[in-house]
Amino acid sequence: MKRRTFIRTGLASAALLAAPSQLPLMGSEPKPRKGRNTTIKVSPSDLEKADLFHLGMAGYTFNKFDIDTTLAFMQKINVHYLCIKDFHLPLDADAGQIAAFKAKLSAANVIGYAVGPIYMKDVAAVDRAYAYAQRVGVDLLVGVPGTWGDTVPNREVLDHIEQKVRETNIRLAIHLHGPDMALYPDATSIWEDVKDRDPRMGLCLDIGHNLRYGSDSIYDLKRYSKRVFDIHLKDVTAPTKAGTAAELGRGIIDFPLFIKTLRKVGYKGSVSLEYEKDMSDPFIGIAESVGYFRGVQQTTL
């Protein structure tokens, strides 16, 4: 099917997808529909079943825009899940600020499912991040236990995070940054640090950055699926540091296979688009990417 058909079909389906309160619980993969033209003729009920992955937005995408602009646009594209960044809701936000923020999300029919990424350079930063996540009321913190210049993990920080995970029952998803950051460049580097720790410590699999490091994101999704708590959607032009961000479907990631793999491993978290190609004017690229992703979902039922 031509790309424009994917996008047109995917965007048209957005109006039919249920609001978060109406979305079905995760379950088994929908059975394939029989007959000809099944890749185009999909009923509203099938669309609801197809949206298993809680398609959302990584808040970092909107780092040049306020929360009102962000939520208004999310309403236009019918996306209902947001990973909250601290430039929209500060780490020191009090109860009143958090209540006002959550009221805005509710009015826009958006669920703030996680906070982050948050960098935690020391024990004090871990305490601050977890106190923030508790006040916001989420059960997932996307974070980086360290700073941009680190080359090896800080064991004291990791030990303290493990303690906070046990105290709060708030999971940690460590975000990887590919070849741009020596600390946690790919999924395997995270796995090596969490595999023997509390099972609530896992990965935020950024499929674009992981691939730019030279790792196979789809294979890593299968290999580490039990510890993949969040996914950042991207497409990139090459499996090297020279690879640049692209709209979904315009790069080299095999999204039909990726979506089939999500279903195969029974992934139950969110898949959040983190669009970085043009962050000063991202809206057309986001809409195209969302439409493409939803179109692929339909054609792989």
Per-10-residue mean pLDDT of the chain, 301 residues long, equals 53 43 32 38 45 85 98 96 98 97 97 97 98 98 93 94 98 97 96 97 98 97 98 97 97 96 94 96 97 91 76
Residue 242 lies in a domain: yes
Report in angstroms the alpha-carbon separations of 29 from 11, 41, 217: 22, 18, 21
3-state secondary structure of 233: strand
Beta bridge partners, 114, equal 83
Question: What span, in angstroms and rounded, lies between the C-alpha atoms of 64 and 178?
Answer: 23
Q: What is the CATH number of the domain that holds 211?
A: 3.20.20.150
Q: Give the pLDDT score at 298.
A: 86
Residue 23 lies in a domain: no
**Tokens (6 digits) for 133:** 């996540």
3-state secondary structure of 91: coil
Beta-carbon contacts of residue 257 (< 8 Å; ≥ 6 apart): 218
Domains identified in the chain, total number: 1
Q: Give the pLDDT score at 148.
A: 87
Domain that holds residue 233: 3-7+45-299
Half-sphere exposure of 275 (CA within 13 A, CB side): 23
Residue 60 lies in a domain: yes
Q: How many residues does the chain have?
A: 301
Residue 279 lies in a domain: yes
Residue 62 lies in a domain: yes
Q: Give the pLDDT score at 219.
A: 97
Question: What span, in angstroms and rounded, lies between the C-alpha atoms of 3 and 84?
Answer: 31
Residue 39 lies in a domain: no
Residue 222 lies in a domain: yes
Report in angstroms the alpha-carbon separations of 280 from 69, 209, 233, 274: 13, 20, 19, 14
Question: Do residues 117 and 60 lie in contact, with contact meaning Cβ atoms separated by under 8 Å?
Answer: yes
CA 166 to chain centre: 23
Task: Report DSSP letters for 142-203, one per residue.
Answer: EEESS-TT-SS--HHHHHHHHHHHHHH--EEEEEP-GGG-SSS-SHHHHHHHHTTS-TTEEE
Q: Give the pLDDT score at 40.
A: 37
Residue at token pair 């999300």: 105
Residue 70 lies in a domain: yes
The maximal CA–CA distance of the chain, rounded, in angstroms, is 60
Question: What span, in angstroms and rounded, lies between the C-alpha atoms of 291 and 301?
Answer: 16
- Count of other CB atoms within 10 angstroms of residue 151: 8
Is pTM beyond 0.85? Reply is no
